[in-house]
């Protein structure tokens, strides 16, 4: 039997608001335990939540960027369960009426082999299996597109809702308490978005592509710092398998809190294998919650369906229904930054950049903005692209810095590019100037001036140097004239060295060629 | 000059406005008034048990502050007035128990909004008052600190859940008190103890710092000796609070200005569903007399119907308990309050703490509410109850198209004897039959003294107003008070 995996993802995005979702406490990471708490986030008797407007704005941003409908009226609900890190004994979330619904993200799929290793079918069959289960108007379009390499696939987004995070348990020696468990409620009441996808994903690679895209968007939107190690972007994966051709999904398992792209891929692949193997042995997949162990790359059962919580959701009577006006949504829409997809196509069509350049330059909003600042200042597009992707990125990486902290401002880089364009300095000299700008906080013109790096394009001056060098190396001149054209490089090197790199290489090439050929 | 003791004996009987006049004329200081109250508490409260915690030191310090303000000519209506708070109000640095063992050692780090507003007005907090545990009860008997007794007859209950708040007024151990009303918890004890008790419209007073029982029904209100005091207390605590999302941002009128004494042409509705067979004859008589009194003042009576009244108690016990089951989840011994010793595991600690900390009635309601919200039952119970609640609300709104306020009994009987209904929760629940619909509708109502039973227990009448119609019902209650002398009677204790 051949199997088709079916995957849906629930992503928790921690919002980077200054204060918590229902109180005024700071959300800063890493403070002393319980130092960022108040009666509200401690769940003190009598304390009441008040919604942080910024959280709503961030949720609207996320909804608009993922093509969701923004609900004019949404409701907060209580999710009831006991755990020591949950101060009120319930989490304020949204249930029946979330803020965003019915969105989608388009991902690029390069690997069409979405049918798992347990199956033998070809691409056509895979596509058929896929389009059989796929609901919605885009079925045929998607299925058709999937036959091409690098095709686009649409992943539905069921809903996005706002909720508060829980605190953290610390199991260790606690100063003053000895060994045991402590509760740190600094994180309690921190704002989260939960973004729930439709079960449209068919492979671990698609899952990762979707997650990368979503991650890029929330970081671009400025609503999440994207830090996966600190848990700012984490994912629960719902995985099931069904026989190819079936229209009924298999029983799914939910793997909790996977916090890296690599782990998501591992966890999903493991889970697909495990389920197929289990069914192959005549067993049955049970609905359960599982945990991923990064050490072994395996998932293991955490709790079964019978131990599943009955969360007893009901509308939170402490919060009034959230009403969002069309005007507010329109205002937020106007304030959205240009998203990577739109940027990429603009770079291609307006700036004439290659797919590769457009992709690399839009990888982060900061890099794209740096690049665009250079363009706005009059830098040539291709030159700016090469420099941002090359010298700038390399030096930043060496220094372990982000582009936002780049000591060479777009103004300085543009000035440098213009010096090259005007022929004042060569590209090679420009690298020296760039290094100097990095460490000295000086304008490129000043550095060129100070160090006498102005390119020599004066043909008389260059001719003089060439003549001297040819005179001193007659042997090589003969070799060249005898047909050994490789020595041309030797002469270029000698001329450049003699000019301390300042000779205009184009002029050098031209004159050398003329003179060597004995013209 | 009369002997000191006579002055002291007198001070605790005064209303807010009477004491205010004396403070203003500097005939008495707040410290003297507060001392008199504290002495009265010491003398009488052992019999009544209205207080869980008395705070003499804090009270005298506040009284000194008040006297300084008064000396500087800065006197507000509540400046220097000794006031008691139901122990459901969170008070900074003062133990707040909600009459539960589970909060027996809880000292809050903050003041709630209503308390902060009283303090800003210069009121002197004398202590924390007894109540039913977590405000769950109609008799005051579910307190972990023992039942409060009715000052009119110590064998009887004072009503609940604001039992201490009403009993302290009747016993003259507080000049005024603050209570909360989730299903009648201000009006019913006010009726049983012969004082005035107002439940304002939902959203009129902030719930921030009020320990939640049923969040969509809870509302803060005053219990006082007369209607003028009631208006003054409401004035001090009413108004929008950014810390409570359900508090309403509407201007607060001057409530004492509404007390004109003129009710000529006022239309009062008499709902047929409230004049039921089985109504206690004394209650019936008090009501008939009240109608006659009002007629004499030029009030017009109109028969009305509130057709969904029969479903109110059932609806209440689904909505209130559902919310309570969630509101009370935070009491598990991790961060504050009681924690059970010798637990074998975390879950065991939660279970033991809650088993030891909560009383029987609280456990009963947590179980009812948990059941009502459970998967598979939610639609049949909680959701259905919310729909009925909407119908009850519509009953009232429809009635208010033809009447200005509604006149009803507060409770079917005068105060019953301690222990009489503790074994039959259902009978106990039914004693709130006339007050519960107001909470479900989210509107306002006041209880005013309107008679005495054959065996000497007070009987109140209820005036129900339209949402944010506090001025109308206070005006009607005040006119009635002016025409009668029931509020001047004092329990002999």
Could A46 and B108 be called an inter-chain contact, meaning their C-beta atoms sit closer than 8 Å?
Answer: yes
How many CA atoms does the CB half-sphere of A330 hold within 13 Å? 3
| Catalytic machinery residues of B | 86, 161, 185
Beta strands in A198-243 (DSSP E): 233-243
Nearest to B245 among A43, A84, A320 (CB): A320
Nearest to A82 among B208, B329, B336 (CB): B329
pLDDT tens figures, A41-51? 999 999 999 99
Hey, how many other C-beta atoms are within 10 angstroms of the C-beta on B298? 12
- Cα–Cα distances in angstroms (integers) from residue B124 to residues B14, B32, B229, in the given order: 15, 12, 15
Is A67 within 8 Å of A103 (Cβ atoms)?
Answer: yes
ipTM: 0.95
Residues, chain B, total?
Answer: 493
- Cα–Cα distances in angstroms (integers) from residue A281 to residues A3, A248, B283, in the given order: 14, 20, 77
Could A317 and B210 be called an inter-chain contact, meaning their C-beta atoms sit closer than 8 Å?
Answer: no
> Which residues of A, range 80-119, sit inside 8 Å of B by Cβ?
80, 82, 84, 87-90
Q: What's the mean pLDDT when you consider all of chain A?
A: 88
pLDDT tens figures, B240-264? 999 999 999 999 999 999 999 999 9
Give the per-residue pLDDT at A513. 87
pLDDT tens figures, B363-399? 999 999 999 999 889 999 999 999 999 999 999 999 9
Helix axes A365-376, A340-351, angle to 10 degrees: 30
Give the per-residue pLDDT at A175. 65
CA distance B30 to B28: 7
Give the per-residue pLDDT at A118. 38
Could A314 and B336 be called an inter-chain contact, meaning their C-beta atoms sit closer than 8 Å?
Answer: no
A47 at B interface, C-beta within 8 A? yes
pLDDT tens figures, B10-40? 799 999 999 999 999 999 999 999 999 999 9
B154 φ/ψ angles, rounded to the nearest 5 degrees = -65, -10
Could A317 and B323 be called an inter-chain contact, meaning their C-beta atoms sit closer than 8 Å?
Answer: yes
A310 at B interface, C-beta within 8 A? yes
Give the per-residue pLDDT at A428. 82
Nearest to A310 among B98, B335, B374 (CB): B374
Cis amide linkage into residue B233, ω under 30° from 0? no
pLDDT tens figures, B411-439? 999 999 999 988 888 888 888 999 999 99
How many CA atoms does the CB half-sphere of B316 hold within 13 Å? 32
Give the per-residue pLDDT at A257. 83
Q: Which DSSP symbol is given to B156? A: B
Give the per-residue pLDDT at A233. 96
Give the per-residue pLDDT at A173. 67
Give B455: exposed, middle or buried? Use CB within 10 Å, 0-12, 13-18, 19+. Answer: exposed
pLDDT above 70 covers what percent of chain B? Answer: 98
Residues paired with residue A155 on neighbouring β-strands, in sequence order: A105
A323 at B interface, C-beta within 8 A? no
Nearest to A314 among B89, B112, B322 (CB): B322
Q: Where are the domains of chain A?
A: 3-29+51-73+95-165+190-326, 337-451, 459-516
CA distance B389 to B308: 9
Is A242 within 8 Å of A249 (Cβ atoms)?
Answer: yes
In chain B, residues with a C-beta closer than 8 Å to the C-beta of A39 are 108-110
Element (H, E) at B471: helix B470-483
A33 at B interface, C-beta within 8 A? no
CA distance B82 to A99: 48
Q: Which DSSP symbol is given to A390? A: I
CA distance B109 to A44: 9
Identify the structural domains of chain B with CATH numbers, from first to last.
23-195+225-233 (3.90.1300.10)
Question: Which site among B88, B96, B205, B208 would you substitute to test the A interface, given the most A Cβ atoms closer than 10 Å to its Cβ?
Answer: B208
Instruction: Provide block-wise average pLDDT over 10 residues at a time, chain A (519 residues).
Output: 94 97 94 95 97 98 97 97 94 97 91 43 38 36 44 95 94 69 93 98 96 96 93 95 93 92 96 95 93 92 78 97 97 94 93 93 92 94 94 92 92 93 83 90 87 78 88 88 87 87 84 82
CA distance B126 to B146: 20
**Chain A nearest C-alpha distance from B345 (Å):** 12
CA distance B384 to A445: 78
Q: Are strands B176-180 and B82-86 parallel, antiparallel or unpaired?
A: parallel
**Chain A nearest C-alpha distance from B321 (Å):** 13
Residue ranges in chain B modelled with pLDDT below 70: 1-9
Record: fold of A459-516: Arc Repressor Mutant, subunit A (1.10.10)
Is A71 within 8 Å of A100 (Cβ atoms)?
Answer: yes
Question: Which site among B112, B217, B329 would you substitute to test the A interface, given the most A Cβ atoms closer than 10 Å to its Cβ?
Answer: B329
Nearest to B207 among A48, A90, A313 (CB): A48
């Amino acid at each position: 039997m051949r199997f088709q995996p079916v995957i849906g993802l629930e992503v928790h995005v921690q919002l980077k608001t200054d204060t918590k979702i229902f109180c005024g406490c700071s959300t800063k990471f890493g403070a002393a335990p319980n130092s960022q708490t108040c009666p509200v986030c401690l769940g003190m008797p009598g304390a009441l939540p008040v919604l942080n407007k910024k959280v709503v704005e961030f949720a609207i941003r996320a909804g608009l960027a993922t093509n969701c409908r923004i609900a004019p009226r949404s409701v907060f609900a209580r999710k009831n369960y006991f755990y020591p890190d949950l101060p009120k004994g319930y989490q304020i979330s949204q249930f029946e009426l979330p803020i965003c619904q019915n969105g989608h993200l388009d991902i690029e799929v390069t690997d069409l082999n979405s049918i798992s290793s347990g199956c033998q079918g070809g691409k056509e069959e895979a596509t058929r299996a896929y389009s059989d289960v796929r609901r919605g108007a885009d079925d045929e379009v998607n299925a058709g597109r999937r036959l091409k390499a690098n095709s686009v696939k649409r992943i539905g987004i069921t809903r996005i809702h706002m909720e508060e995070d829980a605190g953290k348990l610390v199991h260790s020696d606690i100063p003053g308490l000895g060994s045991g468990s402590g509760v740190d409620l600094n994180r309690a009441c921190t704002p989260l978005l939960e973004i729930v996808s439709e079960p449209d994903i068919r492979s671990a690679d698609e899952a990762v592509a979707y997650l990368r895209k979503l991650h890029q968007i929330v970081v671009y939107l400025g609503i999440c710092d994207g830090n996966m190690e600190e848990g700012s972007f984490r994912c629960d994966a719902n995985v099931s398998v069904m026989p190819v051709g079936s229209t009924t999904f298999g029983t799914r398992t939910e793997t909790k809190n996977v916090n890296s792209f690599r782990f998501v891929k591992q966890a999903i692949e493991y889970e697909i294998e495990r389920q197929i193997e289990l069914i192959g042995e005549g067993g049955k997949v049970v609905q359960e919650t599982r945990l991923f162990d990064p050490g072994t790359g395996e998932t293991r059962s955490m709790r079964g369906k019978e131990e599943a919580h009955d969360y007893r959701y009901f509308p939170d009577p402490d919060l009034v229904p959230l009403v969002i006006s069309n005007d507010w949504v329109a205002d937020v829409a106007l304030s959205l930054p240009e998203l990577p997809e739109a940027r990429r196509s603009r770079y291609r069509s307006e700036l004439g950049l290659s797919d590769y350049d457009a992709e690399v330059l839009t990888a982060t909003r900061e890099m794209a903005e740096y690049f665009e600042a250079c363009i706005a200042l009059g830098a040539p597009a291709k030159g700016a692209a090469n420099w941002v992707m090359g010298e700038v990125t390399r030096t930043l990486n060496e220094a372990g810095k982000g582009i936002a902290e780049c000591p060479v401002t777009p103004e300085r880089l543009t000035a440098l590019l213009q010096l090259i364009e005007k022929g004042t300095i060569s590209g090679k000299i420009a690298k020296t100037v760039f290094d100097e700008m990095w460490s000295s906080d000086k304008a490129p013109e000043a550095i060129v001036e100070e160090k006498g790096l102005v390119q020599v394009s004066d043909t008389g001056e260059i001719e003089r140097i060439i003549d001297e060098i040819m005179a001193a190396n007659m042997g090589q001149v003969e070799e060249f004239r005898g047909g050994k054209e490789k020595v041309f490089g030797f002469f270029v090197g000698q001329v450049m060295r003699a000019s301390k790199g300042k000779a205009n290489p184009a002029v050098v090439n031209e004159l050398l060629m003329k003179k060597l050929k004995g013209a | 000059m009369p002997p000191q003791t006579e002055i002291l004996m007198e001070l605790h009987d005064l209303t807010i406005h009477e004491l205010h006049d004396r403070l203003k004329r500097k005939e008495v200081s707040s410290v003297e008034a507060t001392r008199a109250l504290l002495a009265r508490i010491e003398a009488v409260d052992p019999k009544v048990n209205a207080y869980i915690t008395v705070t003499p030191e804090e009270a005298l310090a506040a009284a000194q502050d008040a006297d300084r303000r008064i000396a500087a000519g800065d006197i507000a209506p509540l400046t220097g007035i000794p006031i008691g708070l139901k122990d459901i109000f969170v008070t900074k640095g003062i133990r707040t128990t909600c009459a539960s063992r589970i909060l027996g050692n809880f000292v809050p780090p903050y003041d709630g909004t209503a308390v902060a507003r009283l303090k800003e007005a210069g009121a002197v907090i004398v202590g924390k008052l007894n109540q039913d545990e977590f405000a769950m009860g109609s008799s005051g008997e579910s307190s972990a600190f023992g039942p409060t007794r009715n000052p009119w007859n110590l064998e009887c209950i004072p009503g609940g859940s604001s039992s201490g708040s009403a009993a302290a007024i009747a016993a003259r151990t507080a000049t005024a008190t603050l209570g909360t009303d989730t299903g009648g918890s201000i009006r019913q004890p006010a009726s049983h103890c012969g004082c005035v008790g107002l439940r304002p419209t939902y959203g009129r007073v902030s719930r921030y710092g009020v320990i939640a029982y049923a969040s969509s029904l809870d509302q803060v209100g005053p219990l006082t000796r007369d209607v003028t005091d009631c208006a003054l207390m409401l004035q001090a605590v009413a108004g929008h609070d950014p810390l409570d999302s359900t508090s309403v941002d509407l201007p607060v009128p001057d409530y004492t200005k509404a007390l004109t004494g003129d009710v000529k042409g006022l239309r009062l509705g008499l709902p047929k569903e409230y004049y039921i067979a089985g109504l206690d004859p004394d209650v019936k008589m008090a009501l008939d007399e009240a109608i006659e009194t009002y007629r004499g003042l030029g009030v017009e009576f109109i028969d009305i119907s509130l057709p969904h009244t029969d479903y109110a108690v059932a609806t209440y016990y689904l909505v209130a308990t559902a919310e309570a089951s969630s509101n009370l989840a935070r009491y598990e011994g991790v961060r504050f309050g009681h924690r059970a010793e010798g637990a074998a595991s975390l879950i065991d600690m939660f279970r033991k703490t809650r088993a030891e900390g909560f009383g029987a009635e609280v456990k009963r309601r947590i179980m009812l509410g948990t059941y009502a919200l459970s998967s598979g039952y939610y639609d049949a119970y909680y959701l259905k109850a919310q729909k009925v609640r909407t119908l009850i609300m519509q009953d009232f709104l429809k009635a208010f198209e033809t009447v200005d306020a509604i006149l009803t009994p507060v409770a079917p009987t005068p105060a019953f004897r301690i222990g009489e209904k503790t074994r039959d929760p259902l009978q106990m629940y039914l004693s709130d039959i006339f007050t519960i619909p107001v909470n479900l509708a989210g509107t306002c109502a006041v209880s005013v003294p309107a008679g005495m039973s054959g065996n000497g227990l007070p009987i109140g009448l209820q005036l129900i107003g339209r949402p944010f119609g506090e001025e109308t019902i206070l005006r009607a209650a005040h006119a009635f008070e002016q025409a009668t002398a029931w509020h001047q009677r004092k329990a002999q204790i």
